[in-house]
Amino acid sequence: MRELEHCPTGISGLDLVTSGGLPRGRNTLVTGGPGCGKTLLATEFLIRGAEMGEPGVFIAFEETTDELTTNAAGLGWDLDALVRDGLLVMDFVKVERDQIEQTGDYDLEALFVRIGFAIDRIGAKRVAIDTIEVLFSALGESGILRAELRRLFAWLKARGVTAVITAERGDGSLTRHGIEEYVSDCVIVLDHRVTDQLATRRLRVVKLRGAQHLSGELPFLIGPGGFSVVPVSAFELHHPAPAEVVSTGVDALDEMLDRGGWYRGSTTLISGTSGTGKSTLAAHFAAAACARGERCLFLAFEEGELQILRNMGSVGLDLGQWVESDNLRIRATRPTQAGLENHLTALYREVESFRPDVVVVDPITDFHAMGSSLDIKAMLMRMVDYLKQRQITAVFTSLISEREPEDPTISSLIDSWVHVRHVQKINERQRVLYVLKARGMGHSNQVRRFELTSSGIKLLEPETGVSVGAE
């Protein structure tokens, strides 16, 4: 049985969505509104193909080759170099109807000759056409339009090239003419929307003949590296499960866990109300990792790097030495400066460049202002899966209210859970912690009072008669 052969796009995340790439030797339609990234996707498809040894041809009907080259340079791509190396041909075609019409008919034969010459010139395996509306803008007869569209798509397929063709989205239809999607083997819809003053981009594979693909809308970004689709979580939970444990950074807390720490590659949540020591516990975990010679990526959303270094110095943690030795990288940003997918992709970039052994996110609750609970849970699920696949041990902090002691967006996703809170003792408020869960190991059920001292976190003797319910 002959299965469909895929042509890897080389675009981050897109090959995962399409289960290996676009259909090789067939036509893919990329449609969407203005500014959603159609031209960029087509351009990067050719660039990544050139990197894999597959030359490409770009036929442009809207932007000149100089404009395309300048725009690509803004993303760090040198199209002129690809042209010099014989890996790319760019051709701007200015469509004049009187040059295409012959004896009253709409004839694309001259265009076919032009594209065919470019293909033969470099032995192209890939072709991008941007955008098809300009080519047929002067044609009003739907019968002829349908016939010429079919003819164009059939001609490209007969040449054996893998083609990406861009099209503008119509009112109530995927394309303006409502025909292109039916003669394409693969259809990808891009969308750029603004919700609550945050711009987000979405990608959806509408169809992919002869192959399976992920359904639903997926966020994507346009950044310094080009087009990046944020992959969904794996359908099957095939994460590594190492038996090795790593220290929590607090010896007495390690003793509350039968294995003496968290499993490597696991995800731990530290939750609590304001001022209970969540960030300090997370910082102890980070410092312990650095002391072992490991690398820690610390994503902070409420404090700047210098403030974190100063504040943690008050509890005896010299995080500055680990920053200087490149064991610790602190990235402090305002969570509302970008959408959820931007933060997720930023994590991917930092992990790929820094290669950390552990990651701290402080706090995840700042994402609540950036989307619905379902959006946030989906984003956190992707984050957890991504880190687990790489056996990166993660600690998330979560600020919760006294009335809502649990965080439903993350509680079911994490492996271990430590809760910290205040209790009232006559004339003072005291901090206590306890382990809510620790998958795969036994743990103490004690409620332990602790103090933040100049030499670190100090756990005291177990509390008795302390309620862990409402304060």
Residue 197 has pLDDT above 70, yes or no: no
Least-confidence region, from 64-73, 172-181, 317-326, 354-363? 172-181
DSSP 24-46: TTSEEEEEESTTSSHHHHHHHHH
Cα separation, 366 vs 301, whole angstroms: 7
pLDDT of residue 249: 96
Question: Residue 155: which pLDDT band, with cuts at 50, 70 and 90?
Answer: very high
**What are the DSSP E strand ranges found in 273-399?**
296-300, 328-332, 358-362, 393-399
**Residues 98 and 187 reside in one and the same domain:** yes
DSSP label at 296? E
Q: What is the pLDDT of residues 36-57, one digit of tens each?
A: 899 999 999 999 999 999 999 9
- Average of pLDDT values for 185-214? 82
Token digits for 366?
A: 């700042």
* pLDDT higher than threshold 70 for residue 409: no
Highest-scoring range by mean pLDDT, 89-98, 168-177, 207-216, 284-293:
284-293
**Average pLDDT over every residue of 181-186:** 80
Please tell me whether residues 297 and 440 are part of one structural domain. Answer: yes
Question: What pLDDT, on the 0 to 100 scale, is given for residue 446?
Answer: 92
The per-residue DSSP string of 154-188 comes to: HHHHHTT-EEEEEEE-BTTBSSSSS-GGGS-SEEE
**Averaged over 57-72, what is the pLDDT?**
93
Greatest mean pLDDT range, 94-98, 177-181, 222-226? 222-226
Q: Does one domain contain both 401 and 445?
A: yes
The verdict on 225 and 249 lying in the same domain is: no
Q: What is the mean pLDDT of the chain?
A: 85
Higher pLDDT: 352 or 172? It is 352
Please report which helix (H) or strand (E) contains residue 428, including its range: strand 428-438
State the CB neighbour count (10 A cutoff) for residue 33.
Answer: 14
Kindly report, residue by residue over 103-130, the tens digit of the pLDDT: 445 567 888 899 999 999 999 999 999 9
Predicted local distance difference test score (pLDDT) of residue 378: 76
Number of structural domains in the chain? 2
Neighbours of 34 (CB within 10 A): 8
Q: Does a structural domain hold residue 236?
A: no
In this structure, of 26-35, 58-67, 143-152, 319-328, the range with the lowest mean pLDDT score is 143-152
The three-state (H, E, C) secondary structure of 87-156, written as one string = CEEEEECCCCHHHHEECCEECCHHHHHHHHHHHHHHCCCEEEEECHHHHCCCCCCHHHHHHHHHHHHHHH
Residue 53: closest CA among 11, 13, 28, 86:
86
Q: Cβ-count burial of 332 within 10 angstroms (0-12 exposed, 13-18 middle, 19+ buried)?
A: middle
Using DSSP's 3-state secondary structure scheme, residue 449 falls into: strand
Q: Which pLDDT band holds residue 173 (cuts at 50, 70, 90)?
A: low
Q: Which residue, of 187, 205, 229, is where some domain finishes?
A: 229
**C-alpha to C-alpha distance for 454 and 471, rounded to whole angstroms:** 27
Identify the pLDDT of residue 335.
73
162: domain CATH number is: 3.40.50.300
C-beta separation of 276 from 419 below 8 A: no
Q: Is residue 1 part of a domain?
A: no
270 and 135 in a common domain:
no
Reference 458, options 468, 448, 466; nearest CA is 448
Instruction: Please compute the mean of the pLDDT values over residues 190-200 and round it to a whole number.
Output: 73
pLDDT at residue 410 in the model:
72
Q: Is 16 helix (H, G, I), strand (E, B) or coil?
A: helix
Q: Are residue 123 and residue 22 in the same domain, yes or no?
A: yes
d(CA 385, CA 402): 29
Task: Kindly indicate the confidence band of residue 266, based on its pLDDT and cuts at 50, 70 and 90.
Answer: very high
Chain length of the chain? 471
Residue type for position 374: L
Domain contains 426: yes
Domain closes at, from 196, 229, 262: 229
pLDDT grade, residue 337 (50/70/90)? low
The model's confidence at residue 172, banded by pLDDT at 50, 70 and 90, is low
Q: What angle do CA 56, 112, 141 make, to 5 degrees?
A: 120
Angle at 345 between CA 343 and CA 348, to 5 degrees: 115
Out of 213-217, 237-241, 452-456, pick the least confident. Answer: 237-241
Q: What is the pLDDT of residue 367?
A: 78
Query: Quick one: 317 and 177 in the same domain?
Result: no
Query: What is the 3-state secondary structure of 183-247?
Result: CCCEEEEEEEEEECCEEEEEEEEEEECCCCCCCCCEEEEEECCEEEECCCCCCCCCCCCCCCEEC
Same domain, 74 and 185: yes
User: Is a pLDDT exceeding 70 seen at residue 100?
Assistant: no
* 239 occurs within a structural domain: no
**Confidence class of residue 137 from pLDDT cuts 50, 70 and 90?**
low
Provide the percentage of residues in the chain whose pLDDT is more than 70.
83
214 and 255 both lie in a single domain: no
Q: Indicate whether 203 and 344 sit together in one domain.
A: no
Q: For residue 372, what pLDDT is reported?
A: 67
Which of 199, 188, 193, 232 has its CA nearest to residue 342? 199
Question: Looking at the predicted structure, is the pLDDT value of residue 471 above 50?
Answer: no
Q: Residue 235: is its pLDDT beyond 60?
A: no
DSSP state of 277: S
Based on the fold, state whether residues 160 and 268 are members of the same structural domain: no
Q: What is the mean pLDDT of residues 205-210?
A: 88
Per-residue pLDDT averaged across 334-360, rounded?
83
What was the pLDDT predicted at 209?
87
Domain assignment of residue 469, yes or no = no
Give the residue from 229, 261, 286 where a domain finishes: 229
pLDDT score of 402 more than 80: no
Q: Compute CA 254 distance to the chain's CA centroid, rounded to the nearest angstrom.
A: 34
Report yes or no on 432 lying in a domain.
yes
Domain that holds residue 284: 245-462
Beta-sheet pairing, 296-300 with 358-362: parallel
pLDDT in tens, 238-263: 677 889 999 999 999 999 999 999 99
In terms of domains, do 321 and 224 share one?
no
Average pLDDT value for residue range 72-80: 92
Maximum average pLDDT range among 25-39, 143-157, 170-184: 25-39
Task: Give a yes or no: residue 50 inside a domain.
Answer: yes
